[in-house]
Amino acid sequence: AQRVTQPEKLLSVFKGAPVELKCNYSYSGSPELFWYVQYSRQRLQLLLRHISRESIKGFTADLNKGETSFHLKKPFAQEEDSAMYYCALRGGAQKLVFGQGTRLTINP
Amino acid sequence: DVKVTQSSRYLVKRTGEKVFLECVQDMDHENMFWYRQDPGLGLRLIYFSYDVKMKEKGDIPEGYSVSREKKERFSLILESASTNQTSMYLCASSFARGTGSFETGYGYTFGSGTRLTVV
């Protein structure tokens, strides 16, 4: 079975502090991992994919197959990072399985 | 600008009504999906479709059905709406695995959502 767990429903940090949103997955094969973000009153959008190894808006995420994790990190949080973040996994099928989501709040 | 368009932003329906939620995409995507989004539960897959006239159940299909008569349109139907179907409904589309450009990749493009309230 494919499963994605985001252990923190809410995360609050101060502006300029480091941010880490945790994501753990369960899948026996080689997964594709994604992070999606939903800003207030906007549609859900793709933030980054593990396959492209990119940094978007200062965020990075590394796939750790040994720990089955795909944590999202940013060294210095900004107020505009406040949003809902979802980790997602695609296994052998076409569909994505999403985690429960983490609401990130950046305090000034 | 590529788009997934959901026909209604807000809907209020009565218990027992038949409800249609429409989704249209203009990206020639093969795959289309319906999710519901609830606080603390994340996104849960209701139904999806890989091709015209093709559908597969997701994780929570009970009380729902779908229709895909054309590639660009995917409809979600609540046969007899109930209060526990009050939720945000999200439509998404994507290229099929192994097709499409690498840049668009296998990620989804989402619609802006329909907030359905059943009273």
B36-85, pLDDT tens digit by residue? 999 889 999 999 998 898 999 999 999 999 999 999 999 999 999 999 99
Q: What is the mean pLDDT of residues B3-22?
A: 95
Percentage above 90 pLDDT, chain A:
71
Percentage above 70 pLDDT, chain A:
99
Residue position matching structure tokens 């800003």: A39
Question: Chain-wide mean pLDDT for chain A?
Answer: 92
Partner-chain contact B31 A34, CB within 8 Å: no
**A54 pLDDT tier (thresholds 50, 70, 90):** confident
Q: What is the mean pLDDT of residues A38-59?
A: 88
pLDDT of residue B102: 39
Within 8 A of A99 by CB-CB distance, chain B residues are: 42
Could you say which of B40, B107, B112 has the minimum Cβ distance to residue A9? B40
Range name among A72-76, A86-90, B87-91, B99-103 with the lowest pLDDT average: B99-103
Within 8 A of A9 by CB-CB distance, chain B residues are: 40
Within 8 A of B97 by CB-CB distance, chain A residues are: 94
pLDDT of residue B90: 97
Cβ proximity of A7 and A100 under 8 Å = no
Range name among A1-15, B18-32, B88-102, B104-118 with the lowest pLDDT average: B88-102
> Does position A92 have pLDDT exceeding 80, yes or no?
no
Partner-chain contact A51 B105, CB within 8 Å: yes
Cα gap A72→A59, rounded to integer Å: 7
